[in-house]
Structures are given as C-alpha cells and as structure tokens.
Structure 1
Amino acid sequence: MNLNLKGKRVFVSGGTRGIGLAIVKGFLSEGAHVAFSSRNEESIKQITKDLKKEFSDSVLLYFVSDATDPEKTKDVFESIISEWNGLDIVVSNVGDGRSTQEPLQSSEQFESTMRTNLKSAEIIAREFLNGNKTGKGSLLFISSITGLEAFGAPTDYSVAKAAIIALSKNLARKLAPDIRVNCISPGNVYSPGGSWDEKIQKDPERIKKIIDSTVPMKRFGTPEEIADLVLFLSSERASFITGSCVVIDGGQTVGFH
C-alpha cells in the first residue's frame, strides 16, 4: 500500500527511543521530511548521526527541547516552519508513566505527571495550530489504554492519558474538515531500556505471567507496530478517519467493552 508520505513534513516529539524513535524511522523510510525533538542533547545527537547513516538521502532536523516548555516548543515550530515553509503532520509522543503507587499522588507528583503527559500535548497542538499556514494537516496523540480503563496504573498517569483522549476528540470535531486529529492508545509495548525491560530484568517470571494472563495475544507489542499505525493514520489512506482513539493492545481491553 502506497501511503503517499514522500515529501510530507513531519514533526515528532520525544523521538529518541521506543515508540518515538520507531515513528521517526517509519516516516523516514517512507521518504518524509522528519523533524524530531528530545531533552537529551547527547542522545539526540548520536541518534541523528545514526539515522543519517541509515537514511542517507533523507531530510532530517533535530532539536534539543523540552516539550513542556512553551517558549522552547514555540522556537522549535518556528524553526521548522521557517526551514520547510510549513508542517503537514505532527505526532505528540512525549510521556512518562513513572509515578508512585498510592491511590492519589501528592499534589507535586500529580502536577509533574500532568505536565509531562498532558501539558506537553497541549503545547504541541497549540504551536502546530498557531503556525499552520494552510489550515490543513494531521495531528496525532499517543495516549494509552490506561486512559480508557483502570488497570492499576498510577492514578495521575491514567488521568493524564484520559485527558489526552478527550483533547483529541474535542479538537477533531472543532478542526474538521481540514485538520484531522486522532489518538492511539497502546497497551504493553516492549523496547530495550524501557520500563518493561527494567521490570523484566528484576522478575522475568512474574512479568511473563502478567502478560500471559492479561493479554490474549500473550506478548508485548513492538514500537514498530505502533509506528505502522501512526503512519497509516497520518496518511491520505486514512482521510475519513478523525476523532478516533485506536487501541493497539493485543486484545487486553477486549473484556472491558
């Protein structure tokens, strides 16, 4: 299937590891022009160096920036738009599920989690809309199945991810028909160095039992599988899809609906 993404101008936040990096690579492999950001300067420089070897003919921009900082994010979007004269596709991918396990986190922890997961999405959406000269495009948020049901994930994280789904649906209705807005809610996704990798290192048998008993497909998802869905939803092949929250979780939420 030809997704017609060649030459599309794309921005991905949090693009240096896991799902974000897979999304960046996916768009590059389709011939898109890709800009991405991360707070970690050393990491993003090394990854950019590696990407330029793998995708030698690609157009690639990188930015050391914190997506929760409105001014820095504004600078990123202004730089991209100045360089490329616009943006076609924006993927808001910044998120962090690490928190504490009490029923309701401290106000400081709750605020920190909301800033990382929700505020970053709001800022990115705002800057995309502010700099959108054509009034057209695709905006996509990465949420989580923890925003759909109570699985025992940290309360603050679940609330933030639920809010992202609400944000995407409201924007989809209000920005149609010219800008499509969608959301993806992944289940358990494994990547080296990720949170599940850390848990597996500590107690592999316990994690295997959790996955076998809660996920009908009896395995983790991969970042590449999430990226494939991102690419499709961002493409012209998905031109009639907006306001959707697409679950990709190996069947984990089937029993909840």
Structure 2
Amino acid sequence: MNLNLKNKRVFVSGGSKGIGLAIVRGFLSEGARVALTSRNLESLELTYKSLKEEFPNSDILYFGSDATDAKNTSKVFDSIMNEWKGLDIVISNVGDGRSTQEVLQSEEQFDRSLKINLKSAENVVREFLRTNSEKIGSICFISSITGLEAFGAPTDYSVAKAAVIALSKNLARKLAPGIRVNCIAPGNVYSPGGSWDEKIKSDPKRIASIIENTVPMKRFGTPDEIANVVLFLSSEKASFITGSCVVVDGGQTVGNH
C-alpha cells in the first residue's frame, strides 16, 4: 500500500531504539523526512549512522534532547523549523514502565513517571502547536494497554498512560478538522534492551508463562507491528480517523471492553 508519505516532515521523540526506532525506519522507508530525538546522545549518534547507511538518500535530523525538558524541546522544534519550515506529522513516543511494586508509589517515583510518560507528550504537542502556523497535520501518541485496564502494572505508569489517552482524545476534538490526533495502546512488545528483555533475563520461565496465559496470540508483539499502525494512522489513508485509541496487543484486552 502506498501511504503517500514521501517527503512528509516527521518528528519522533524517543526514536533511537525499540518502538521509536521502528517508527523512524518505517517513515524513512516510505520516503519521509524524519527528525528524531533521544536523551542518550551516544546511542542516538550510532542510530543516525546506521540509518544513513540503510537510507543513504534520506533527510534525517537528530537531536540529543530530553522530551521532559520544555525549554530543550522548544529549542529542538525551533531548529527543525529553521531547517524544514514546518512539520506534517508528530509522534510522541517517550515512555518508561520501570517502577516499584508498592500499591501506590512514593511521591518522588510517581512524579518521575508522570514526567517521563505524560509531561514528555505534553511538551512535544505544545511545541508542535506553537510552531504549526497552518494548523494542519497529524499527531500520534504511544500509550499502553495499562492505560485502559488494570492489569497489575505499576500504578504510576498506568495512571500516566491513561492520562496520555485522555490528552489525545481531548486534543482530537479541539484540534479537528485541521489536525488529527490518535493514540496507540501497545500490549507486550519485545525489543532488545527493553524492559521485557530485562524481565526475561531475570525470570524467563515466569515471563513465558505470563505471555502464554494472558495473550491469545501467545507471543510478544514487535516494534515493527506497532510502527505499521502508526504509519497508517499518520497517512491520508486514515483521513477520517481522529480521537481513536488503537489497541495492538495480540488480543490481551479481549473481553475487557
């Protein structure tokens, strides 16, 4: 399917690994121009080098930036505006599910989770709206099924991801018809170095049992499977879709809605 994304100007936060990197690669494979950010500059530079080898003729911008830092994020968007004069698509992908096992986490940990998972999304969309004089385009947030149901995930993470979904739906109503806003709620997605990778290394039998008993598809999802949905929602093929939260979880939430 031709998604007509060639030369579209795309921003992806948290784009150096996992789901974010799969999204970046997906857009580049469609001929889009992509700007990506990551807090880890060393990892980001290696990612950029790899992307330029894979997509030598592509227009790629990269910034060592923390999306939870409003001033830093503002500078990134100003730099993109100077280079490209605008953006068509924004993907807010920063998130971290690592937490503690208390019923209600410490105030410090709760604030940390809200900052990483919610404030990062707020900062990115705020800058897109500030710099988007034409008021047209597409925004896609990466949330989680833990923001839809109580699966036993850390409370702080679940609450933050639920807030991302609420942010997405409110913006969709208020920014239509010019800017479409959607959200993806992934289930268990495995990528090397990710949180599930750490859990598997710690207790492989327990994790295998969890996936076998809770996911009808009986496997992890892949970053590419999330990226494919993001690309579709960001394209004109999804021109009548806004305010949606698309669940991509191998059936884990079946029966919960």
Q: Same fold (TM over 0.5)?
A: yes
The match for 2:7 is: 7
Q: CA deviation at 1:203?
A: 1.8
- Per the alignment, residue 125 of structure 2 pairs with 125
Q: How does 1:66-77 map to 2 (within 5 A)?
A: 66-77=66-77
* Counterpart check, 1:101 vs 2:101: yes
Partner of 1:32: 32
- Report how far residue 134 of structure 1 moved: 1.3
**Could you tell me which residue of structure 1 aligns to residue 248 of structure 2?**
248
The whole-number CA distance in structure 1 between the counterparts of 2:241 and 2:122 is 21
Q: Counterparts of 1:1-257 in structure 2 under 5 Å?
A: 1-257=1-257
Equivalent residue letter for 1:158: S
SS in structure 1 of the partner of residue 255 of structure 2: helix
Equivalent pairs counted in the alignment come to: 257
Can you list the C-alpha shifts for 1:88-132, whole angstroms capped at 9, x where unaligned? 000000000001110101111100100000000001010000000
Letter of the 2:32 counterpart: A
**Runs of 4+ more than 4 Å apart:** none
- One-letter code of the match for 1:139? I
Taking the aligned partners of 2:218 and 2:247, their CA distance within structure 1 comes to 16
Q: What is the DSSP-based 3-state SS (H/G/I as helix, E as strand, rest coil) of the residue aligned with 1:182?
A: strand
- Please give the TM-score of this superposition, normalised by the length of structure 2: 0.99
Following the alignment from structure 2 to structure 1, what is the Cα–Cα distance between the partners of residues 157 and 195?
14
Give the Cα separation in 2 of the matches to 1:255 and 1:210: 18
TM-score, length basis structure 1: 0.99
What is the alpha-carbon root mean square deviation over aligned residues? 0.5
- Structure 2 residues without counterparts, runs of 5 or longer: none
Whole-Å separation in 2 of the counterparts to 1:66 and 1:87: 19
Letter in 2 for 1:145: I
Q: Distance in 2 between matches of 1:71 and 1:198?
A: 32
| Distance (whole Å) between structure 2 residues aligned to residue 207 and residue 16 of structure 1 | 26
Report how far residue 255 of structure 1 moved: 2.1
- The unaligned stretches of length 5 or more in structure 1 are none
Distance in 1 between the 2:97 and 2:207 partners?
Answer: 17
Give, in whole Å, the separation in 2 of the partners of 1:71 and 1:84: 20
Letter in 1 for 2:100: T
- Mapped to 2, the partners of 1:117 and 1:30 lie a distance apart of 28
